[in-house]
Every structure is written in structure tokens, then in C-alpha cells.
Chains A and B, each alone.
Chain A
Amino acid sequence: MTAIAGPPIIHRSIWDRIKWFIIPVVPFLILLGVWLSVIAIYSPAIGVLPRPLKVLEVPFNEEEYWPNVRASVWRLILGFLFAAVTGVLAGLAAGLSKRIAEFVGPLVTAMNAISGIAWIPLAIAWFGIGTQMVVFIIWNAAFFLIFGNTMLGVRLVPTVLGDSLRTLGASRNQVLRQVVFPGALPYVMSGLRSGLGFGWRAVIAAELVGASSGLGQWIFIAQEFARADIIVAGALTIGLVGVLMDRLILAPLERRTIERWGLVGSSK
């Protein structure tokens, strides 16, 4: 399901394994080297480019760091849970009926075209500045992805499977529970996974202009006070949180679902 197929990794020896553990660090080191030499040569003001060590110190020295990280993550969890529940339920309901699916199809397309970011000004007008507005934007960014994927997953379960169970005397409920839901699960999972990714981007964008706390707002304010160390630390934290959430929670979950249930009726 992943768009990026990694190269086949063949571990020939322990030395090879160690080598390939170290080599991917090299690009980061090159970047660090460029960063350090720019500082050495141009000695820019801290507001323009901070020293790497100064950036590393931010989580320990700035007492606003952790509360802002917590605020952003908390908003993401709220908005994402809301989007996951509504998206999966609505997607299942819509996917079960061809007429509903065809009816909402164009709406989903249109809503996806108006990207979540474009909703920010209207959301500020509706909810004011703060958590409510940010949660709405996360919901908006994730809902249509989760909804669309769930609906697609349900529609792609071959009707033959359900029909054959019905002829064996299964009730409609049993077909739903044992054929449709598990069949749609891989799609649901991949919808949830991309939904969380888009949601996290949306949090940062929404906080940038429409919140009084959170990582996005913090780095935006830091720009006004020429605190590039906070900006860089914040941006790196945003990347780290995104990668960790995806790698530790969602990617394994998605892989497991696909391994357990397979991609029923999919050409991929």
C-alpha cells in the first residue's frame, strides 16, 4: 500500500548491517556541517540562524516548550478521534448503499478540493481563535479522507462473498460483521493513517494563524521576537512527532491489518 517501495534490503553480514545503520546518518551530518560552516563563516545573528546546540537546549531551557507540544498533540488527538469515529461510521453507512455513495461522491470530491487550510478563515469566524477552531480544522482535514477511504473499502468488497454467505444462511448482520467490515478494514486503516498525517499538518497551519498556544503559534510568535532557535526546535519537533506517530502507531497497525485481512478485491 505504501507509495514508496523501499529497495530490497539484504543483510549479508553483521558488518553490512552496521554499515547501513551508520550511512543514513550521513545526510544529517552533511546538513549539520553546512549549518555549522555557515555560522563559522558568516556568524549570523541568533534571530537568523541559531547554533545547533542552542536549538538542542530549547526543550530544556524554554519552559513553554512542553506545554505547547502538549497543546498541539492534545488538539490532534481530539480532532482525529472525532474525525475517525464520524468518518468510519459515515463511510460504512454510505458504502453500503450504492445510491448514497453516488450521491455523496461529488460532495466528497468538492470538499477535498477545498483543502482544509482554506477553511481556516471561516473556522475562525465561526469558532473564534482557540482549540475549538483548531479541532474543527483537524476534523475537516481528516474526515473526508477517512470517509472516502472507508466508503471505497466497503464498495470494493466483492458482493459475491456476501452473497455466498447469505445462501449458506447467514443473516445480514453476520455478513456485515464477518465480510464487509473486515474486508474494508485495510482501506479504513490507510484512510486513518493518511488522515492523521494531514491532520498534523492542519494543526500547525491552524495554530499559525488561529490559536494562542500550541507549537504552530509558538514558532510564529518566536519569529516576531527573532528567536530562530525556537523556530528551528519547533519545526524539528513537528517533524519528529509526525514521524513517531506514523512509525510507532499507524504504520504497524496498517501493516498488521493488511497481513491479517488482506486486500480483498483490490487490484493492488
Chain B
Amino acid sequence: MAITSDPAADANLGGSNMSEELIASHARQKRRERLFGFGRSLVPFVVLVAVWWGVYVIFDPAPTKLVNPTKVIDAFFEVVREGTLPAYISRSLGRLLWGTFWGVVVGIPLGFLLGLDKDIARAAEPALRFFNAISGIAWLPLMITWFGFTENTISSIIIYTMIFPLVFNTMIGVRTVPPVLRDATRSMGASWPRIIRDVYVPGSFPSVMTGLRLGIGFGWRALIAGEFVVGGGGLGFLIFDARTAGIIERVMLGMIILGALWLMIDRLILRPIEEYTAVKWGMVQQ
């Protein structure tokens, strides 16, 4: 399970049962139920905020530990007005994109190599597993001594963190392409570049996409840690800096934005792409 993401999120708890019930029902009822389902998934958060508010009212904690939920909303408008929020969000996303680009450029070809050649894979796997166990964050101090407090430091740990899930999943994807397909195309006279392009690339696509989603998820964590330590703007810097200044409402706001942003990236971009490729190309693996 070392390379998989959080199974809890993958399980899509509650949602899957509900969608089964929906299939049978009428279209209008479907819409109503979907609205209702969405409303129902908001209830736990309402309860959470109520508990938060209750704790705040009853215990009256110091303003550097816990604040009134409404102050977090105020803080939101404050950082929007200051212009820091849009700037920091685009800074963080830009870093993530840059890291993802290089992660893909390095990780996918390496994964292909390991997937196509069993001996190279067997030789390289222990080393890959060992370095996978050293989290990118642990390299942060060394990267600082090499690159200083710069963008390169942040990029390097994002790329490092992303590469492993990408390599492993690409490797599996290539390996699970049935050799029959390769042999069939080959017997019809296809060249190796052609086989790679027309058999292995589409065949491994769903698994590569899974690796990409996991990689970006891990890279996101590395990015936050990098921004804590290196700074230079970004959402991680926002919450770390706010803590140092004792502005707890900004810390909490930053955390909520980090969570919401990740859910949006994951649910609106990465998962649909992964599911689409699984539907479009996934048949190859059966």
C-alpha cells in the first residue's frame, strides 16, 4: 500500500451507495435527491463549525489559539482585498505545475524503461524503494545548502516526491499490457517505436494517470512543507507566516483554502481525467 493514496477518500464514502439508489429513480426525483445529498454532506461541516463555536464561547481561549469562526470569514475578505490570496494561490499552483511538468518528463520515461525490461526493473527496484522511503521533505535541508532559499529548492523536492508514484505506476501499467498485443502487432510488421506508440502508450495510460494523480497529491504536500521552510509566498508561507505573527484566523483560513483547493484539483481535474482514461483505454488491460 505504500504508493496508494488515502483509501478513505478513494472509497467515496456514502456517495457510491447513493448513486446506486439514484439509477433506479425518476429524473426529477434524481435532481431533488442530488440536491438533498449535497445538502446532507454539508451537515457534518455545520456541526463541526457549531462545535468550534461552542468551544470558543465556553472556553474563551486566547486569540492566538482559537478564534471566532466569523473572524476567519473576515480574514478571507481581508486577504482578498490585500491581493495576497490570489497572488499566493497562483504562486503555489505555478510551483505545483512546474514540478509536475518535470516529474512527468523524468518519471514517465523511466517508468516505461522499467516496465519494458524486467531485468532493469529488478535491478533498480530496491534502490527506488529505498529512496522512496526517504521523503522529499527529509532532503529539504540538503537542497537548502545546495540551492539556498530559492525556487529551485522547492521544485527539487516536489519533483523528487512526485517521481516515485509516477515511475511505479507507469511501470505497472506497461507491464500489465498483455504480451499478446505486442506480439500480434509485431508479427504484422510493426516497428518498436510503433509498438510503443500504439500498444504500450494507450495500454499503460490508465495506470500512468493514477500515478500522476498520486504524484501530484504527494507533490502538493511537499510543496506546502517547502513553502513553510523556504517561504517566498504561496499558501504554505501564508499559514506559516500568519502563525509566526500570531494571526490564528489566517492560519485556519489558509488551511481551509488548502483543503478546498486540493479537493477541487482532485475532484474536478485529476479524477475525471483518470476515470475518462480508464473508460477509454482501460479495456486493453482485460
Contact = CB atoms under 8 A, between A and B. Distances in A.
A234 B142 CA distance: 10
A114 B64 contact: no
B229 A209 contact: yes
Contact of A115 (B64, B130, B169, B224): B224
A152 B8 contact: yes
Nearest to B264: A113
A30 B279 CA distance: 41
A249 interface: no
Question: Chain B, interface size: which category?
Answer: 35 or more
A12 B212 CA distance: 36
A5 B172 contact: yes
B260 A243 contact: no
Given A105-B44, A246-B2, 10 more contacts: A4-B168, A107-B48, A111-B259, A115-B262, A121-B239, A121-B240, A121-B243, A145-B6, A223-B145, A238-B135
Contacts of B13: 101-102, 104-106, 108-109, 148, 151-152
Nearest to A222: B141
11 contacts: A110-B45, A112-B8, A118-B224, A118-B259, A121-B239, A145-B6, A149-B8, A194-B4, A200-B135, A236-B134, A246-B2
A119 interface: yes
B65 interface: yes
Interface of A: 1-7, 9, 20, 23-24, 26-28, 31, 47-48, 98, 101-122, 124-126, 144-145, 147-149, 151-152, 187, 190-191, 193-194, 197, 200-201, 204-205, 208-209, 216, 219-220, 222-223, 226, 228, 231-232, 234-236, 238-240, 242-243, 246, 254
Interface string B1-39: 111101111010111010000000000000000000000
Contacts of A239: 130-131, 133-134, 138
Instruction: Decide if the interface of chain A is mainly helix, strand, loop or mixed.
Output: helix
Interface of B: 1-4, 6-9, 11, 13-15, 17, 40-45, 48, 64-65, 118-119, 121-127, 129-131, 133-135, 137-142, 144-146, 168-169, 171-172, 175, 220-221, 224-225, 228-229, 236, 239-240, 242-243, 246, 248, 251-252, 254-256, 258-260, 262-263, 266
B239 A118 contact: yes
Contacts of A220: 140-141, 229
A120 B259 CA distance: 14
A125 B14 CA distance: 34
B8 A145 contact: yes
Contacts of B258: 113-115, 118
Given A20-B122, A118-B255, A122-B248, A3 B127 contact: no
B142 A223 contact: yes
A35 B262 CA distance: 37
A-B complex: 7 closest residue pairs judged by Cβ atoms:
A148-B8, A105-B13, A239-B134, A121-B243, A114-B259, A27-B127, A223-B141
Q: Give the dominant DSSP class at B's interface.
A: helix
A210 to B, nearest CB: 10
A187 B44 CA distance: 25
A125 B65 CA distance: 6
Nearest to B8: A148
B62 to A, nearest CB: 9
Contact of A24 (B64, B122, B144, B236): B122
A203 B225 CA distance: 12
A147 B13 CA distance: 12
B11 A148 contact: yes
A208 B140 contact: yes
B189 to A, nearest CB: 29
Of A5, A205, A246, chain B has the most CB atoms within 10 Å of the CB of A205
Given A114-B258, A145-B8, A234 B2 contact: no
Nearest to A49: B146
A250 to B, nearest CB: 9
